[in-house]
Amino acid sequence: MQKDAINSIVILTGAGISAESGLATFRGPDGLWEGHRVEDVCTPEALARDAVLVHRFYDERRARLAQVSPNAAHQALVRLDARWAGDLLIVTQNVDDLHERAGAKRLLHMHGELKSALCAACGEAAPWSDALPPASACARCNEPRLRPDIVFFGEMPYRMDRIYEALENADLFVSIGTSGAVYPAAGFVQTARAAGARTIELNLEPSAGSALFDETRLGPATRLVPDLVDALLA
């Protein structure tokens, strides 16, 4: 049974929200995976096998950020963040920094961040904006084991306890621009539904999990997200 009043909102964003800013999605005809096998650039085994390739792949993604800007969908979520008096958590699968640059505060990166380096020796993460050559040394422990702070396939996403706590208390769950094919994020809608939340999907086309949502709205994120935020704040 759905809750009547909306106080607590959880929003999940995926590659689709950044696509209109000019960042390639991972799937699709021009997606990042078209030029690289997932096994070659996004697994711990790939990093061990060919660190030069893996580091170069994420260096290119990091450099690309300087050429793009937040769009109207990112900016609409910032309006919601600033004005929503209840609980709000924006969970992004994206590793870009467009939510932050737009001004989002109540934000969590579950798959890591391009502009961060992680020490494989001591676990320390630190801001990183330039190229990250293999064997770069950690400022904390001095071990030459810095890697992109990206959650590879087979690794556990960040802050899952915090995310599930928010989902289990949510009155509204909104998924924006996701494929619905990557777990655990693809299962968030089921967790939210079990907690009695209303569930809405905003996407260019139905996702793999569209049937699980109470409502699916199709169209560009730059139109659908501002419309939803306007309705929530009205």
Catalytic residues: 111
Q: Angle 70-149-184 (CA atoms, 0-180°, nearest 5)? A: 80
Residues 6 or more apart in contact with residue 42 via CB below 8 angstroms: 54, 150, 152, 153
By C-alpha distance, which of 82, 73, 79 is closest to 224? 73
Backbone phi, psi, residue 41, to 5°: -135, -10
Total length of the chain: 234
3-state secondary structure string across 94-121: CCCCHHHHHCCCCEEECCEEEEEEEECC
Angle, nearest 10°, between helix axes 221-233 and 72-83? 20
Q: Distance (Å, rounded) from C-alpha 58 to C-alpha 149?
A: 10
Q: Distance (Å, rounded) from C-alpha 68 to C-alpha 65?
A: 6
Neighbours of 55 (CB within 10 A): 21
